[in-house]
Amino acid sequence: MFDVQEQILLPRAGPVTIWIGVSLATTSASIAHDAAQDILTLLAKNRLTDIDVDFRGSIYTRAGGPALVPPASRADSPLVRFVRPLTPGLGLFISARDMPDVQGTMTLYLEEGGQGLNSRLLGVTSRHTIVCPKEPNTTVTAQSSAPPRDVVLLSDCRLDQVIQSIEVSLLSARRDVYHCEQNIKERSSASNAAHAETKKARAEKEILALETLLADINRDWMSIDQRVLGHLLHSPPIRLGVGKEQFTEDWAVFEIDRTKLGPGFQGNALDLGNMSEMTVMKKCRSGKGEDWEFDYPFDDELFALRDFLPVHLMRQPDAHDQRTGEPSLLVIKSGSTTGTTFGRANGVFSLVREYSDTDVWQMSRQWAIMSFGDLGFLPLPDDESGAFAALGDSGAIIADTKGRIGGMLTGGSCKVNAPNSREEQELDLVYSTPFEWVLERIKADAFPDAHLDIKIDVQGAPSRA
Which residues partner with 399 through β-bridges?
Answer: 332, 405
Q: What is the domain extent for residue 271?
A: 265-460
> Is the pTM for the entire model greater than 0.85?
no
pLDDT value for 312 = 94
pLDDT value for 145 = 84
**CA 185/CA 188 separation, integer angstroms:** 8
CATH of the domain at 317: 2.40.10.10
- What's the pLDDT band for 379 if we cut at 50, 70, 90? very low
Mean pLDDT over each residue of the chain, to the nearest integer: 79
**CA 416/CA 395 separation, integer angstroms:** 23
- What's the pLDDT band for 174 if we cut at 50, 70, 90? very high
Domain's final residue, options 6, 34, 57: 57
401-437 pLDDT per residue, tens: 899 999 999 988 765 444 444 444 677 778 899 999 9
- Tell me which of 2 and 257 has the higher pLDDT: 257
Residue 2's φ and ψ, nearest 5 degrees, are -105, 145
Q: Is residue 433 part of a domain?
A: yes
Q: Is residue 285 part of a domain?
A: yes
Lowest mean pLDDT among 41-55, 224-238, 450-464: 450-464
For range 36-49, the mean pLDDT: 88
**CA 443/CA 57 separation, integer angstroms:** 30
**CA 24/CA 47 separation, integer angstroms:** 31
For range 216-222, the mean pLDDT: 91
pLDDT value for 450 = 95
For range 20-35, the mean pLDDT: 76
For range 115-123, the mean pLDDT: 81
Which residues partner with 124 through β-bridges?
Answer: 108, 253
Q: Is residue 167 part of a domain?
A: no
pLDDT value for 323 = 66
- What's the pLDDT band for 70 if we cut at 50, 70, 90? low
Q: What percent of the chain has pLDDT over 90?
A: 33
Q: Is residue 289 part of a domain?
A: yes
Domain's final residue, options 39, 57, 75: 57
Lowest mean pLDDT among 77-86, 91-100, 126-135, 431-440: 77-86
One-letter amino acid identity for 267? G
36, exposed or middle or buried, with CB in 10 Å at 0-12, 13-18, 19+?
middle
pLDDT value for 416 = 46
Q: Is residue 217 part of a domain?
A: no
Q: Is residue 384 part of a domain?
A: yes
368: number of CA atoms within 13 Å, CB side? 15
pLDDT value for 59 = 40
Lowest mean pLDDT among 8-22, 128-142, 394-408: 8-22
270-326 pLDDT per residue, tens: 988 667 777 777 777 654 444 567 777 777 788 999 899 999 999 998 887 666 677
Domains contained in the chain, number: 2
pLDDT value for 252 = 97
pLDDT value for 156 = 85
Does residue 257 carry a pLDDT above 50?
Answer: yes
**CA 283/CA 342 separation, integer angstroms:** 7
- Report the SS3 class of residue 367: strand
- Report the SS3 class of residue 93: strand
437-453 pLDDT per residue, tens: 999 999 999 999 999 99
Does residue 99 carry a pLDDT above 60?
Answer: yes
Q: Is residue 187 part of a domain?
A: no
Does residue 247 carry a pLDDT above 90?
Answer: yes
Q: Is residue 35 part of a domain?
A: yes
